[in-house]
Amino acid sequence: MKKILIIYFLPVMILLTVSSCKKSFIDDTTNNNLPNSVSASLLLTGVLTNMVDLPDGAYSSSTQSSMVYPNASNKDEIWGQYYIYNYDYYGNNTYDFDPGADYYSTLTNVLAMESKAAASGGAAVNPYEAMGKFFRAYFFSKMSLERGDIPMTQALQGLANLTPAYDTQKAVMLQSLAWLESANADLTQLIANPSVGGTGLGSTLGGDIFYGNSLTQWQKVVNTFRIRLLIELSKQSADPDLNVPAQFASIIGNPTKYPLMQSATDNLQYTFISTINTNYYPQYPDIFGQSGSRQNMSQTYVGLLDLLQDPRIFAVAEPSRYQVDTLHQSPTAFSSFAGADPGLDLGTMYSNAGLQRYSFINRKRYYSTYTGEPSIQIGYPELMFNIAEGINRGWASGNAETYYIAGIQASMASYSIPLTGTYTAYFYHPAASSTTGVADLTNYDTYNISVNWSTYYSQINVQYASGAVGLKQILQQKYIALFRHSGLEAYFNYRRTGVPNFSTGPGTDNGQRIATRFLYPLSDRTGNTVNYQKALASQYGGNDDINGIMWILK
């Protein structure tokens, strides 16, 4: 028997730094690179940047990353039939609705903002809490407008409830309107006596990128948005619980209690910044070469401007070069402007676009600068049309025409079109020898076009008539005013009223139908299966169908 036992003691190298002596395992689990808490004002900035819907006809350039504009759906303008694709490689005009915008994570930030405000001196009524009510109303109602019933009362509880039940669309709308009422009341208190808000950081608004922390301005937004939401419910205006006409009348009838936007300077709008490349307008000179001809104007929009002999056509579009150069029509004749039918087969549209048969977007306004135009989220012109519509529908007494005219004039003013006078139009028409780009104004033909409000307004299609004709006129003008603004509003209005006529065909797909709703988030199918199935069964025959009809459209 042989026994071998070899023991090697390897040299033990001890290298203990001072820090490692003091450290413990538990200290090292924490990530010191990120904050464990941020202030309410930083969260507010985050919520506001998540809230915006921007035009992005330029599709996604690298600087318009999803991080910067998380909820910008790249097809809002397509589904509004304003500005459409002509080549399948880059996009198409189909109504292939996806799950739409998902604001639940943003609402988690709203909750965090409220609790940080309360923890940092905010009283029971404080600016963040009032803003929080507005955000809840805005985000929940928007998600419901897109999908129908959605989780609300059981939502936002994290691990405490991983399978929130759905609330009916009616419940979401009732609650949203109640939040807006309450937000208005809180803001009234805070404006009258800021000390109500408490003391410290949580008592004063900070981080506002739109109004410089002015609660007075936000109160106007709250009420203006409430008018929008009431209008969205027009098909259920007879519902006794919602009581849409009475709510509408009480707001219109009491401007002291419910201040509304007074002019375009009150617009809730996103202003682009020429010095920060992540805040450029989605279309700007550097990308004109790659994206400038992927899309052209839609006939739904251009045809309407044409029908109304509307001078805004010279600001937003350019004449078809085919009409001007080949058929020798005047570039400022309305008939020289032509949009493409969104229902058109893309192969045909591509061929026609190559032949310059269509109007392209106005390059001076939308491509020659880095700032384009501010993107209106909730605006004064829309408010005017919404009030006119409510009055037209008999919800309140008043003169619908006054609001109708104010809306049109505010929209024209946003394009710098004078009521009476001369408007200078710029159409991109570089000489063959030109080596400069879309930013160089010498590459544009300029035309002085005389505009006259009374001539415009005296047209039969424009001059306000009461009743159904008047309603259609209001909705048409609202559609025109919403070009490149307010996300899906134009689509929602079409869905609710059928105005203006949207076109269908092979290009829009979905069996020649305009889809009526967005899908539920894909995660509901696997993560909240039972409630998801219940919601589908109670609303859409068990199928998550983009052509299903939600309660507010019944």
E strand or H helix at 48, and its extent?
helix 40-51
Is 332 or 528 the residue whose CB approaches other proteins more closely?
528
Rg of the chain over Cα atoms, rounded to whole angstroms, equals: 27
Sole binder of other proteins in the list 184, 377, 503, 528 (CB under 8 A): 528
Residue 334 or 520: the one with the smaller Cβ distance to other proteins is 520
> Which CB sits closer to other proteins, 472 or 525?
525
**Least distance in angstroms from the C-beta of 70 to other proteins:** 9
Q: Is 507 in the site for other proteins (CB under 8 A)?
A: yes
Question: Distance between CA atoms of 42 and 301, rounded to whole angstroms?
Answer: 39
**Selected binder of other proteins within 22, 158, 265, 468 (CB under 8 A):** 158
**Amino acid at site 340:** A
Q: Binding to other proteins by residue 17, rule CB under 8 A?
A: yes
Look at residue 437 and give its three-state secondary structure.
Answer: coil
| Alpha-carbon span 484 to 56, nearest angstrom | 9
Q: How is 345-412 classified by DSSP, letter by letter? A: -HHHHHHHHHTT-SPPB-HHHHTSSSS-S-EEEE-HHHHHHHHHHHHHTTSS-S-HHHHHHHHHHHHH
Binding segment for other proteins (CB under 8 A), chosen from 212-220, 231-239, 495-503, 519-527, is: 519-527
Residue from 253, 255, 289, 527 binding other proteins (CB under 8 A): 527
Question: Which residues on neighbouring strands pair with residue 530, listed in sequence order?
Answer: none
Nearest-angstrom CA–CA distance, 359 and 353 = 9
Count, residues near other proteins per rule CB under 8 A = 109
Measured from the CB atom, the residue of 230 and 519 that comes closer to other proteins is 519
Query: Cα 165 to chain center, whole Å?
Result: 27
Choosing from 2, 22, 328, 554, the residue that interacts with other proteins (CB under 8 A) is 2
Q: Which CB, 29 or 435, lies closer to other proteins? A: 29
- How far apart are CB 480 and other proteins at their closest, in Å? 29
- Per CB under 8 A, the list member of 506, 534, 549, 553 interacting with other proteins is 506
From 351, 434, 455, 538, residue interacting with other proteins (rule: CB under 8 A): 351
**Helix, strand, coil shares, percent, the chain, to 5:** 45, 5, 45
Best CA proximity match to 474, nearest among 553, 552, 398, 406: 406
In the complex with other proteins, the residue whose CB is nearer, 277 or 409, is 277
Q: Which of residues 59-78 bind other proteins (CB under 8 A)?
A: 62-63, 65, 67-68
512 binds other proteins (CB under 8 A): yes
Q: How far is the CB of 471 from other proteins (least distance, A)?
A: 29
Give the x/- contact pattern for other proteins in 217-246, rule: CB under 8 A: ------------------------------
Please answer whether residues 405 and 420 qualify as being in contact, where contact means their C-beta atoms are separated by less than 8 angstroms.
Answer: no
Among 193, 262, 263, 278, binds other proteins (CB under 8 A): 278
The reply to whether 26 sits near other proteins by the rule CB under 8 A is: yes
Choose the stretch contacting other proteins; rule: CB under 8 A; options: 16-24, 181-189, 288-296, 376-384. Answer: 16-24
User: Which 392-431 residues touch other proteins, going by CB under 8 A?
Assistant: none
Work out whether 42 is an interface residue with other proteins (CB under 8 A). yes
Strands (E), 51-114: 83-85
Q: How far is CA 376 from the centre of its chain?
A: 8
Q: Evaluate whether 535 touches 144 at the Cβ level (below 8 Å).
A: no
In terms of CB distance, is 154 or 168 closer to other proteins?
A: 154
Phi, psi of 521 (to 5 degrees): -55, 140
525 binds other proteins, rule: CB under 8 A: yes
Distances (CA, A) of 244 to 144, 227, 240, 258: 17, 10, 8, 16
34 counts as binding other proteins under rule CB under 8 A: yes
**Shortest approach of other proteins to residue 4 CB, angstroms?**
6
Q: Which of these ranges, 192-200, 238-246, 287-295, 515-523, lies near other proteins under the rule CB under 8 A? A: 515-523
Residue 191 touches other proteins, criterion: CB under 8 A: no
Alpha-carbon 149 to chain mean position: 21
User: Where does this chain touch other proteins (CB under 8 A) — which range of 181-189, 366-374, 436-444, 516-524?
Assistant: 516-524
DSSP 203-243: GS----SSSTT-HHHHHHHHHHHHHHHHHHTGGGTT-TTT-
Asked whether position 537 contacts other proteins by CB under 8 A, the answer is no
CB proximity list for 77: less than 8 A, separation 6 or greater? 55, 56, 57, 83, 84, 484
Shortest separation between residue 32's beta carbon and other proteins, angstroms: 6
Residues 6+ apart with CB under 8 A from 354: none
- In 428-488, which ranges are continuous DSSP H helix? 453-457, 467-481
Provide the minimum distance between the beta carbon of 298 and other proteins in the complex, in angstroms, as a whole number: 17
- Residues 467-486 within binding reach of other proteins (CB under 8 A): none
Binders of other proteins among 108-147, rule CB under 8 A?
Answer: 108-109, 111-112
